[in-house]
Structure 1
């Protein structure tokens, strides 16, 4: 009855609530455990997150390919829920087997009693930069995961099957690209990799979406290009957020920056792009990403002055 959708919504809200805490926690943990490879291990967290999305989209694609619509509604969706539930239980078991990082244990006596207040009072500029650095990631991912499949089918009139298959190609491409960029971030400053991604989006978003809107590029190539470029910012932002804050407030600083960016950029992206589609036409996603890339680039330019906390932690450790 009516309690089924109510319960589903409540559980989805709970899932989002806990993810908002677990993602910053995971980033903090791996960076403090392996500061000498902080960019790569931070990227691995995002790679696993992105791979989870890819697994979900592939599961949906497989169910719709093997079952007819009536069977998907009748019982097929339960297969996906059971599969996801089993993965969730496994991840919970892994989570409970972890201990605090050695760096946090070393500074346990110096931890902040009111970390969020400390972050807001002492590291306000770092939070602002972190929101900009993560904001370009949230906007780009919201386009890739939410907006573009609908854009291709309703605005450019591609078939839903092609849009879905192309999206999987884009997510897989991003997973590979972000892992490569995270690896590269251990060899050159990650802020330069992030900055390169922001510059490419700034210069290329509008002409790229003009080409897409004119059917000058097929959906598979479209998603592959978006996934590849998105890897530059997705593969480095975890390290860059961790690098903005010292150990005693790192988790709170990452959590505040990341979740403010999620609220400000993820939720509004579909609404803003939809409104722009009515106002300026099919090039709307390109205009939106140009503006967001501007914000990400400005935030990225402040990272050298505001960051450096992970390197100092590694030197003192």
Structure 2
């Protein structure tokens, strides 16, 4: 489709909003753990020093990422075989319940080793759920509003990013509302209860969704894949590898710059808690705006060209960001620059929706998205802390971000000259 792309109708905007709101709440539920990491470390992983306690907490955070590919495989299969709608309903319900229960867990001082074990189990449920949620939203919207695919997918991820913003604002409010001892004792539970409650509301709304028209055509013509993952591995191996590498920079960038940094800045660099929380929220909101711009450009420009520019920017900007943090630069300005970095990567996510045919699209997107986030997002906090400990350099996390950007450049360079509308 040419640059004179048809505008989105009111009904289509409503559909995007409803679908995105579910993802908004899911991502809030998933990342609130990272934002509450300092308190969770004290309550569930008491250690002899802050470094060890925080490292263990982030390792548990990574478990939720690592289980996402399994959730993607299971829900991707169900979505390609039985429809997008029932998967939407199931994923948000599992996420809501597991998040609410996190806020109800006893602490290590109350039940000992059972406390971290129960926390790990609920993190696994969260990761399993989100493994099917976001790929399902990408698949559903790309099939329902396909004439502005770049803009539509970017609106979805803008909403998802604002789920992180909502978590940051809740965190900032809690820090303003409660003194430190109350946050340590019970205040950290409130964001989990809030996310679980809102997730139940999203579940009720999703029950009224209509099925994807393209999936109904697969059912009508009996062209559904019997085992989508097998077909992907047999016929689309190059696309799978390309999709995983294209996801890598976005996964590491979001995790490192917005989920890892609250604990990094407050516990290691001694930035004020309230400043970090507010600056993080501003940076995430800016990310959501840049994401929409990048998605709109993906409708107008060849995606390959857009990706090469975005990934080059990541590689060149990684070291300056962490140098600024260590030198005590204004945290608000650095977070805005981080938002520009993260938002510029929307083109890679748009590309996932055009790499695979309809009969294996859900499974293909789920595999690439979740494998990319598990390998390059979930391990990011652990690798970043390990790099700091190994090198004795507080700028060491930048090396990991540069590496992921380089992998994205390699994938984009090998990508065919796709246009989003093709």
TM-score (norm 2): 0.68
1:163/1:219 contact within 8 Å kept: yes
2:149/2:421 contact within 8 Å kept: no
What is the rounded CA distance, in whole Å, between the counterparts of 2:122 and 2:386 in structure 1?
A: 30
What is the rounded CA distance, in whole Å, between the counterparts of 1:65 and 1:100 in structure 2?
A: 44
**Matching residue within 249, 254, 258 for 1:141:** 254
Q: Structure 1's 4 and 152: CA in aligned 2 closer, same or farther, altered over 3 A?
A: closer
Deviation at 1:23?
A: 0.8
Q: Secondary structure at the match of 2:394?
A: coil
1:197/1:230 contact within 8 Å kept: no
What is the rounded CA distance, in whole Å, between the counterparts of 1:69 and 1:8 in structure 2?
A: 22
> What residue is the counterpart of 1:270 in the other structure?
381
> What residue is the counterpart of 1:86 in the other structure?
197
Deviation at 1:73?
A: 4.6
**Matching residue within 198, 204, 213 for 1:102:** 213
Partner deviation per Cα, 1:249-281 (whole Å, 9 max, x = no partner): 000001111111122111221222222223151
- Which range moves more in the overlay, 68-77 or 111-120? 68-77
**Matching residue within 278, 281, 297 for 2:409:** 297
Matched residues, number: 308
**Matching residue within 232, 238, 241 for 2:344:** 232
User: Which structure ranks higher in relative contact order (CA pairs < 8 Å, sequence separation ≥ 6)?
Assistant: 1
What is the rounded CA distance, in whole Å, between the counterparts of 2:421 and 2:325 in structure 1?
A: 42
Partner deviation per Cα, 1:109-147 (whole Å, 9 max, x = no partner): 111101001111111110101111111111001102332
Query: Is structure 2 residue 228 aligned with structure 1 residue 115?
Result: yes
What is the rounded CA distance, in whole Å, between the counterparts of 2:230 and 2:343 in structure 1?
A: 33
TM-score (norm 1): 0.89
**Matching residue within 13, 30, 36 for 2:124:** 13
Gaps of 5+ in 2: 1-105
Deviation at 1:204?
A: 2.4
In the TM superposition, what are the counterparts of 1:134-283 in structure 2 within 5 Å?
Answer: 134-215=247-328, 217-233=329-345, 235-278=346-389, 279=391, 281-283=393-395
Q: Secondary structure at the match of 2:226?
A: coil
1:199/1:297 contact within 8 Å kept: yes
Deviation at 1:228?
A: 1.2
Gaps of 5+ in 1: 313-317
Deviation at 1:75?
A: 4.8
> What residue is the counterpart of 2:12 in the other structure?
none
What is the rounded CA distance, in whole Å, between the counterparts of 1:288 and 1:78 in structure 2?
A: 32
